[in-house]
């Protein structure tokens, strides 16, 4: 039953380039727009529903997402002296990162944000693809998903990380800058 549900849900997605990327049917430039009543596109509801099981970080860990205790905070401040946003804690599924396929219902990274009480809540899904030629100057293998080009290629964020592309989708924490923006001004990491 679970497999049938996953296959049915995955059928809504089509590949935009064999083996490299996928996009949602009906996505395109309007992928982030809401309808006249403020409703979100169908794919967004489906994705939220599929990933809701990961609202508890312990469930994500049981599904192969590795916990991190490093909270990503944007390093720059605005004119008022406040930090310009954050991402949160990245839980990486290394098996999915190693898989060359891009599967919309199986993001390589889940991003948890501080809840203000010492806990973490699911904020975003992050899709991560290794750059094929490991050169920052080329982007012929840039993935596309949900009508959006991935950001990159970008330098590694930490030792051992390859040059890569990434796309954030703020499914569970509103990002006033936009659904696909990497940094969320509503996210603040705890002080070290």
Per residue in 80-98, pLDDT (tens digit) is 877 789 999 999 999 999 9
Q: For residue 7, what pLDDT is reported?
A: 26
Q: For residue 156, what pLDDT is reported?
A: 87
| Higher-pLDDT residue of 57, 159 | 57
154 preceded by a cis bond (ω within 30 of 0): no
pLDDT band at 62; cut points 50, 70, 90: very high
Ranges 50-59, 146-155, 156-165: which has the least confidence: 156-165
- Prediction pTM value: 0.79
Closest CA to 146 of 161, 120, 124: 124
pLDDT band at 18; cut points 50, 70, 90: very low
- SS3 (DSSP) at 23: strand
Residue found by looking up tokens 């809504």 in the block: 12
State the Cα–Cα distance between residues 47 and 152, nearest whole angstrom: 23
Contact 145, 17 (CB under 8 A): no
Average pLDDT over residues 150-170: 92
Q: For residue 76, what pLDDT is reported?
A: 78
């Amino acid at each position: 039953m679970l497999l049938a549900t996953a296959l049915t849900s995955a059928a809504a997605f089509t590949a935009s380039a064999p083996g490299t990327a996928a996009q949602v049917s009906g996505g395109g430039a309007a992928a982030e727009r809401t309808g006249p009543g403020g409703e979100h596109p169908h794919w967004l509801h489906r994705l939220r529903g599929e990933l809701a099981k990961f609202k508890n970080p312990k469930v994500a860990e049981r599904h192969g997402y590795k916990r991190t205790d490093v909270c990503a905070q944007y390093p720059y401040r605005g004119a008022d002296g406040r930090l310009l946003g954050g991402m949160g804690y990245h839980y990486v599924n290394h098996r999915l990162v190693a898989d060359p396929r891009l599967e919309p219902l199986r993001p390589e990274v889940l991003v948890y944000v501080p809840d203000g009480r010492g806990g973490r809540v699911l904020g975003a899904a992050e899709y991560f693809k290794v750059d094929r030629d490991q050169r920052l100057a080329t982007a012929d293998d840039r993935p596309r998903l949900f009508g959006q080009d991935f950001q990159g290629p970008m330098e590694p964020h930490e030792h051992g990380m390859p040059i890569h592309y990434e796309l954030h989708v703020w499914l569970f924490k509103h990002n006033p800058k936009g659904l696909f923006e990497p940094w969320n001004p509503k996210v603040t990491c705890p002080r070290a």
